[in-house]
Structure 1
Amino acid sequence: MRHVPVLIVGGSLVGLSASLFLRHHNVPHLLIDKHRGSAAHPRAMGFTETTMEHYRACGIADRIPQNDPGARLRRVQVESLFSDWVAETDWTPGEPSDRSAALSPCTGAAIAQDELEPILRAAAIEAGAQLSLGVELTDLTQDEDRATATVRHRDDGIQETIEADWVIACDGADSTIREGLGIARSGVGHLRTVRSVLFRCPDADVVLDRGAQQFEIEQPGFKAFLTTYGDGRWVLMFDDDRERNTEELRAAVQRALGRDLPFEIVTTGKWELAGRIAEEYRRGRIFLAGDAAHQLPPTRGGFGANTGIDDVWNLAWKLAAVLGGRADVGLLDTYHAERRPIGWLRHQQTFSRPDYAHWAPSTFRPEPLFGNDAMEFGQLNRSTAVRGAGPDLPAAAPPKVWAGQPGTRAPHVWEDGEEGTRSTLDLFGRDYVLLSANRAWIDLGERLSIDAVMVGRGFRFPAGQPFAAMFGVSGAGATLVRPDGIVAWRSQKLPDAGAEASIRRLIAARG
């Protein structure tokens, strides 16, 4: 029997991200996955600015090709790939399909899942992570002191017992861990089964010069959805749940292309279009993350894999603080408190948008739509790890509305004189950071042994984006930012005993 502080079950995007983030915070752990590599069908495609911000904090953003700042996702209705466009579909009604480039130091990445996963796997290993591939979980129990996992090595059948302080379940929508815990899910449930075929046709990539990447195919007796991975691979999703033989698949691809081009079928896929959110994201020593916690269909807001990556970014620093003895175990309760409402928000937003609204059952009640910037950069985290995010506030709003509101992502600003090289976000990512233009707050931060940044010296805000306006803090005040870049607290006045006590309680997660 061996012991690890954290056991990660599942080694796809979310599990690998969890491994990378834990090593970023110097947390020893073990990741197991029953597969030895990425799936033949890439599945996810497109990773958001905030996902790239997480990877930037870990020092690997330069390994991932990011989007051209001027590029935007476009979906069009066509008879076939090479035919004239019939119409263009909005990403979100009333919203531009691109997001403001001024809100992040990153632009997002149009990279296929099977190309991103090897980058994450290599980076995690370089950082000291232990990965055991070809190892499947066969049993998991827990008590007040530990979780105990029984695993089987698939190549030789040898079984092993592993004890862990904490477990992160990244084992997908059909999570055996979640089912074993008996955690229920709510949402629209199963809506339909989608079948697809992945094929390689580099000659078709020439059509991308016209600016669209997603194509709704509609012909008499034939409806389908066609999109590209940008590397010569295309995926055709059918409008029906009918199994097709190779001859039928080739005929369908030819019909969707609308031109006689050479192509090679790589594999087929079958997935469930559904919306399900776990009622609990934590049960004892086990945390659900990714599809195990929230099953959402692909969206033009990146609400699938990106939500799961955000989950483990939120969780990693909290596990590090508890394992390192810097915070009370109660800090881990804030994972469910913060992430479950965001999972539910994204469920509601997904099925309130027109491309999925028609699939939702009659019992579903659409909600007002938030804009793209609000959903990407302005979701609100409410928990005891935040002071000042009351129930009267909306679930999301654009960053310019929040202006450093506690519970929201700290605003991005390029440093004056250092444009293009250092962002305010580069100040965060490991420890709590206290920012103020007043020396008294810097002295307090130093007494509390937390990073303290003097505005104007440690970081120079440009005249057009002053600290007071961007973070909503007066010249006498300060703001406290968590290791995950979320504003935890702020004050508009000089420090006193009450402010010091509030900061101490927040950092230690005690009351």
Structure 2
Amino acid sequence: MSNINKTSVIVVGGSLVGLSTALFLSSWKVPVILLERHHSSSLHPRAIGYTTRTIECFRSLGIDSRLPVTQWKGGPPRRITIESLAGKWQDEKLWTPKAAGPPEDKKAGRPKGPEEFSPVAGIATAQDKIEPVLRECAIEQGADLRLGYTVASWSQNEQGVTVAAMDRDGVEIVVEGKYIVACDGARSPIREKLGIQRDGVGHLKALRSILFRCPQIDHYLNKGFVQFQIEGREDGFEAFMTTYGEGRWALMWNPVDKLEATKDAIDEATQKDMIRKAVGEEIPDNGIDLITTGEWELSGLVADKFSSGRVFLAGDAAHALPPNRGGYGANTGIADAHNISWKLAAVLNGTSRPELLATYDAERRSAAMVRHDQIFTREDYGRHVAGLEWAGKNAKILDDVAMELGQIYRSGAVIGADESLPLAKRPDEWNGQPGTRAPHVPLRRGGEAISSLDLFCHGWVLVSKDGTWRVTAQQASGTTGTEVAFVQVGGEVEETEGSNIGESFGIGETGAVLVRPDGYVAWRSLTKPVDAVASLGSALGQVSYAVKNST
């Protein structure tokens, strides 16, 4: 007889996005059971770059300092075209053309990067080094991680969801909950059962890869390049090499003959010959340590919708985005997790109506489509899709920092995100517009240097220099049932030399800004209205989908 377990949210899939979802949900005190068919991380490191915004999300939980040491900092990894590592090195390939890059900071004499707009920086660390930390942190927060369980079936109805899963010994468990977050990969069985289609450039090609160590070639990294595009050879051989740090390299190529295109294992001698071919020099057999091989599909596909009933898609299940130097794959998935978690928490704790959950699709699907289009507008992949047509083919290349920190949300959980506003702008081109990430402003609290970002991601927050908003916030909390904390600049926190909260958030001395639990601006009032209680109460009730507000 199956063992029945009850929870609030069932997360299917326990890689990077699934673990992040379990972590964020648990931080909101939402009971969660995660089901993952593997017992540990994949031998393939997969994702390696984590953007500033991702680290901000982890910082809000106080775990950013626990993440492994970075491999490199300072923007997208450098890529160069080569004939082989030992052969001719040709041109450096930029991720974003200089013409589309950031404007120069005339005072500093250099372009402004993400470090100018955040208290943290992005990191580069292999996924298999990040995942154990996320598992540990999720468990500490109360998440129930069931590793080694494969989902056999699932169903949903008006009352909730049910998932049956089986371990390797054939022991079945049944998990009952209110919602499912499907983080079960690009081939998501859950998405397929829901009948959700996908759109985008589609399938591009199948790749085979070899993960290995070879100390003899590590010196090729001394010039600062970590990605190597192999092409332009007389023998027609094309491949891609990159490093994952700690001496680990990956060689990837597109199989060309029928035998090689099968998923049959490649023998060790063939693997080492492929590596020698890419390196362009003789390497003794004992100089190559083979770790594993793999096969995977390179695609650009975004689901037509990110939810159906009580099921929500996140990560690759929602958007299959190829590895790229903008970090749009894993980081987009982690942002999905951050977005859906506070919304599920608000609905489950009874303060928000279920309609709030529809804003997940409105916000995250748009963000994913923008990122899909940016990947294939840039040269890395653009040359491979020149003959294809899709809706966003002629998208203008956006600045890296705009993509990382400046995309806008438009949904019912935002008031005032004008349709005329661009899809993304650099943080220094925004100033607190609703739908944008709340800007980083250096502040002091009790003598401690903090960021304005440290005020957010723990609930609804109202910020103003005008202390009379405190009572207004209390009254709005009472009328809506949605608790909103008030922070007075000049009271609980102080501006530092050169910082200006009003300028950064676009409000006057009596104005206020309402920030959502995910750190995005939901509403703002440039000055304090005559009936501030009614204005804030109406806005808070609307953007939080307050249950009390609807009665």
Q: Is TM (by shorter chain) over 0.5?
A: yes
- Counterpart of 1:387 in structure 2 is 415
C-alpha displacement of 1:418 = 9.2
Contact 1:17 1:309 in 2 (8 A): yes
Instruction: List runs of 5+ in structure 1 lacking aligned partners.
Output: none
C-alpha displacement of 1:96 = 4.9
The answer to whether structure 1 residue 117 and structure 2 residue 151 are counterparts is no
Q: Which amino acid aligns with 2:251?
A: L
- Counterpart of 1:348 in structure 2 is 373
- SS of residue matched to 1:132: strand
Contact 2:71 2:125 in 1 (8 A): no
Q: What is the CA–CA distance in structure 2 between the aligned matches of 1:414 and 1:68, rounded to whole Å?
A: 25
- Counterpart of 1:188 in structure 2 is 201
Q: Report Cα offsets for 1:224-254 as digits up to 9, x if no partner.
A: 1111001100001114445254322211212
Contact 1:205 1:230 in 2 (8 A): no
Q: What is the CA–CA distance in structure 2 between the aligned matches of 1:342 and 1:504, rounded to whole Å?
A: 25
In angstroms, what is the RMSD of aligned CA positions?
Answer: 2.0
Find the partner of 1:461 among 488, 495, 502.
Answer: 495
TM superposition score normalised by structure 2: 0.89
Q: 1:338 to 1:258 in 2, by over 3 A?
A: same
Contact 1:351 1:366 in 2 (8 A): no
Q: What is the CA–CA distance in structure 2 between the aligned matches of 1:145 and 1:307, rounded to whole Å?
A: 30
Q: What is the CA–CA distance in structure 2 between the aligned matches of 1:356 and 1:501, rounded to whole Å?
A: 46
Identity, in percent, stands at 44
Q: 1:67 to 1:107 in 2, by over 3 A?
A: farther
Q: Report Cα offsets for 1:83-117 as digits up to 9, x if no partner.
A: 56321111111245993311122211111111111
Q: Which amino acid aligns with 1:388?
A: G
- SS of residue matched to 2:178: strand
Q: Report Cα offsets for 1:386-420 as digits up to 9, x if no partner.
A: 00012211111111111111101111122259999
Contact 1:317 1:430 in 2 (8 A): no
Q: What is the CA–CA distance in structure 1 between the aligned matches of 2:328 and 2:114, rounded to whole Å?
A: 18
- Counterpart of 1:331 in structure 2 is 356
Instruction: List runs of 5+ in structure 2 lacking aligned partners.
Output: 103-110, 261-265, 478-482
- SS of residue matched to 2:333: helix
C-alpha displacement of 1:345 = 1.0
Find the partner of 2:388 among 332, 337, 362.
Answer: 362
Contact 2:95 2:379 in 1 (8 A): no
- SS of residue matched to 1:32: strand
- Counterpart of 2:82 in structure 1 is 78
What is the 5 A alignment of 1:118-267?
A: 118-154=132-168, 156-218=169-231, 219-221=233-235, 222-242=237-257, 243=260, 244-261=266-283, 262-267=287-292
C-alpha displacement of 1:352 = 1.3
The answer to whether structure 1 residue 488 and structure 2 residue 513 are counterparts is no
- Counterpart of 1:473 in structure 2 is 507
- Counterpart of 2:24 in structure 1 is 21
Contact 1:66 1:107 in 2 (8 A): no
C-alpha displacement of 1:79 = 2.6
Q: 1:71 to 1:284 in 2, by over 3 A?
A: closer
Question: Would you say how many aligned residue pairs link Structure 1 and Structure 2?
Answer: 510
- Counterpart of 1:412 in structure 2 is 440
Q: What is the CA–CA distance in structure 1 between the aligned matches of 2:351 and 2:101, rounded to whole Å?
A: 44
Q: Which amino acid aligns with 1:210?
A: K
The answer to whether structure 1 residue 87 and structure 2 residue 101 are counterparts is no
- Counterpart of 2:10 in structure 1 is 7
Q: Report Cα offsets for 1:442-492 as digits up to 9, x if no partner.
A: 222233242111112222223423011111111110001111011111001
Q: Which amino acid aligns with 1:486?
A: Y
Q: 1:62 to 1:335 in 2, by over 3 A?
A: same
C-alpha displacement of 1:315 = 0.5
Q: What is the CA–CA distance in structure 2 between the aligned matches of 1:421 and 1:351, rounded to whole Å?
A: 41
- SS of residue matched to 2:425: coil
The answer to whether structure 1 residue 499 and structure 2 residue 536 are counterparts is yes
